Structures are given as C-alpha cells and as structure tokens.
Amino acid sequence: MAPRELLAQGAGESTKCGRRDLTIRRLGPGDEEIVVQLGGERPLTHAQAADLVADERTVYLVAFDDEEPVGYVFAHQLPRRHGDPSQLFVYDLEVNESQRRRGIATALMRELEQISREHGIRTGFVLTNSSNDPAMAFYESLGGVRPNEDDAMWEFNYPA
C-alpha cells in the first residue's frame, strides 16, 4: 500500500483496548463535530475540522470511554527526500486531566505505531520541551530516543 493512502483506509474503524470501556477510533469524514469538541479553548471551525479529517496524510485517533472522548493523538505523515519515503510527525497528544495515568496515552501511541507499521512508515518523531519531565519520561517509556541532545527547534512567523 502506498504511504499516501494512510488515512484513506481505516477511517471510522475502532480498536478495543485493555481497559473494558476504552475504544480507540480513527476519525474520518463525518467526525468534524468530535474534532471541534476536542479543540478546547482553541476550537477549530467545522470547515477546518473537515479539512483535517479529509487529509490523506493526517491520522487523528480518539480514545472513547463509552461514548465520551477522553484523549486523542493527532499526527501527520511527512514525505522525505532521503531514507524512508515518509515519516510520522506526532503533532499533538492530549488526555483529559481526570483520565491521566490510566494508560490512555500509551494505548493511543501504540495504535498509532500499529497503523504506521501497516502502512510501511518505519519512523516517527514528536517535539516536547526538555523541561517537561512527564512527557520526557513518557516518550522514553515508549522506546523513543533522542538522537542528538543538542537538537533545537526554530519557529518562524509569516505575517499576512
């Protein structure tokens, strides 16, 4: 399967996790309201949400406790010009504060790993602050490694 078809297949499918009532579902067209609801203080418009779930290079997984969304991971497939043809960028991972430390983030990341493997994506990365001790420990517990301790991220603003 071509990496470009990452989201085109599997949207709407659910996976049961180790927790009795926890289900992870991949969002797709028709799930815009869930994306808007998960936006919190900075919600997207329905049009923005529709664009996200329709993008073939976007993976949006949501963990549901019964019918209630309790966490999500949002990632983009990035094409590469050398090495593997594509890599997964984990853009955002969030679990409701009241639901943390219950394995939800781990379940989301493991499901994302499985989807990546199924589609031939062998590597992924995430950015976090080195001062964010819980995130640093979490990503390390998943087997993540820091290839270069001195890597830095630079942000650019493009005013209108």
Residue 146 belongs to some domain of the structure: no
Residue 135 belongs to some domain of the structure: yes
pLDDT on residue 8: 47
DSSP3 helix / strand / coil % (the chain, rounded to 5): 30, 25, 45
CA atoms within 13 A on the CB side of 133: 0
pLDDT band (50, 70, 90) for residue 18? low
Residue 152 belongs to some domain of the structure: no
Q: Which has more pLDDT, 156 or 15?
A: 156
Q: What domain range is 49 assigned to? A: 3-141
Lowest mean pLDDT among 54-63, 70-79, 146-155: 146-155
pLDDT tens across 144-156, in order? 998 888 888 788 8
Classify burial at 148, counting beta carbons within 10 Å of its beta carbon; exposed 0-12, middle 13-18, buried 19 or more: exposed
Find residue 74's DSSP bridge partners: 60, 92
pLDDT tens across 118-135, in order? 988 999 999 999 899 999
- Please name which of 141, 136, 115 lies closest in space to residue 126, comparing C-alpha atoms: 136
Separation of alpha carbons 81 and 33, rounded Å? 35
CATH number for the domain spanning 101: value is 3.40.630.30
Residue 82 belongs to some domain of the structure: yes
DSSP letter (8 states) at residue 2:
-
Residue 22 belongs to some domain of the structure: yes
Residue 48 contacts residue 30 (beta carbons within 8 Å): no
Residue 149 belongs to some domain of the structure: no
